[in-house]
Amino acid sequence: MKIKFFAHLALKTGEEREINPASCTYVGELRDLISSEFPEIALDLPNCMLAVNMEFKQDEDRLPETIEEIAVIPPVSGG
């Protein structure tokens, strides 16, 4: 399964990696898995949004049966 990281997270992990979310039912469990698989961003993850199949998800949301892509997006600011 492809997982994409953006902005400063990509500098720490690389832009694209692989992860196996088979043991996860909820997005919060996926967030915990990402934290354990990529400890270099564990402190950043609580402030990041997760997108599954190009849709933003909350930790309490169930994961879809078919996952094509996961994206981890840190907070952004503009001006």
**Residue 72 · residue 10 · CB < 8 Å:** no
79 confidence band (pLDDT: 50, 70, 90): low
Per-residue pLDDT of 15-70, as tens digits, reads 999 999 999 999 999 999 999 999 999 999 999 999 999 999 999 999 999 999 99
Question: 0.85 cut: is pTM over it?
Answer: yes
Is 2-73 a domain of CATH 3.10.20.30?
A: yes
Q: Where are the domains of the chain?
A: 2-73
Helix (H) or strand (E) holding 31: helix 27-37
76 confidence band (pLDDT: 50, 70, 90): confident
